[in-house]
Amino acid sequence: MSEFRSGFVCFVGRPNTGKSTLTNALVGEKVAITSNRPQTTRHRIRGIVHRPDFQIVLVDTPGLHRPRTLLGQRLNDLVKDTYSEVDVIGLCIPADEKIGPGDRWILEQIRAVAPRTTLVVVVTKIDKITKDRIAEQLLAVSELVGPDVDIVPVSAVKAEQLDVLTNVLVGKLQPGPAFYPDGELTDEPEETLMAELIREAALEGVRDELPHSLAVVIDEVEERSNRPEDDPLIDVRAILYVERDSQKGIVIGKGGARLREVGTAARTQIEKLLGTKVYLELRVKVAKNWQRDPKQLGKLGF
């Protein structure tokens, strides 16, 4: 049998290039929230891919972008710290969009910050376009990164070429021990995952002004007392922070309808995560301009 290999792989790219969807597809479970809105990911979620002969630890970072706020700057710093700590960087470029200045800028950042880290390019979302268009994009990507970099086209949604990508990544890792016990899929605390699931539900179907302005903090998690042993219930109380009163109205909706929808969707996901019934209580508060205020950023966990 060949030697056991292990290591850390980080997917980077412009916001909304399918990094979180790819992480979830490789792990086989939902460990990173996904949304069709940029800047959905704010934490380094680690997903763990286990096989008998290897273990890949996936580090899912926020999309790298030119920062406009203190939050943006902190997210970028988080990404750059990650670059130099991993064994392989997977640069995600979507198949259905032409290579743009954003992609070139990220490649420059990678080469400046982590020149010695192995680079692999993942061309995502190949299910969205024809074979001819995929071939054109692969050629364009090859011109961008040069002949020495492996390029793997995948569709995370349709599970196409994921085995090929896994084999390429494993081939870049050194022999080494497993970092996590078999069966563990992420090392994120449950509270972080719960907050992310609530934020994902709240971002679903809202207007563009909300994504950056929304933060979720889990206030309390406790098991309900006096329940039968075979039917436990966990009370989860969470606060959704927005920056303006108008945004509070958007999240709550007419007569509280929108917030109830968010609660129902998030509760379903949290029950899956915890494996037990959950009573979820959501409140919405305004924290004016929290993205630009160092004190408030710290309080909200950034």
127 is in an annotated binding site: yes
8 A C-beta contact, residue 285 and residue 239: yes
176 is in an annotated binding site: no
255 is in an annotated binding site: no
117 is in an annotated binding site: no
20 is in an annotated binding site: yes
3-state helix vs strand vs coil in the chain, percent to 5: 40, 25, 35
What are the distances in angstroms from CA 300 to CA 20, 27, 42, 191, 288? Answer: 22, 28, 12, 13, 13
138 is in an annotated binding site: no
The 118-124 sheet, strands edge to edge: 45-51, 54-60, 5-12, 88-94, 118-124, 150-153
Q: Which two tokens stand for residue 235?
A: 């009370």
- Pinpoint the alpha helices (H) of the chain: 19-27, 70-85, 101-113, 131-145, 162-171, 190-203, 245-252, 257-274, 294-299
68 is in an annotated binding site: no
61 is in an annotated binding site: yes
Sign of the C-alpha dihedral, residues 259, 264, 267, 269?
Answer: negative
103 is in an annotated binding site: no
125 is in an annotated binding site: yes
8 A C-beta contact, residue 204 and residue 44: no
13 is in an annotated binding site: yes
62 is in an annotated binding site: yes
What are the distances in angstroms from CA 156 to CA 92, 123, 162? Answer: 12, 10, 7
298 is in an annotated binding site: no
15 is in an annotated binding site: yes
14 is in an annotated binding site: yes
**What are 10's strand-pairing partners?**
59, 89
**Which amino acid appears at position 201 of this protein?**
A
**What are 119's strand-pairing partners?**
89
Binding-site residue numbers are 13-20, 60-64, 124-127
Binding-site residue numbers for GTP are 13-20, 60-64, 124-127
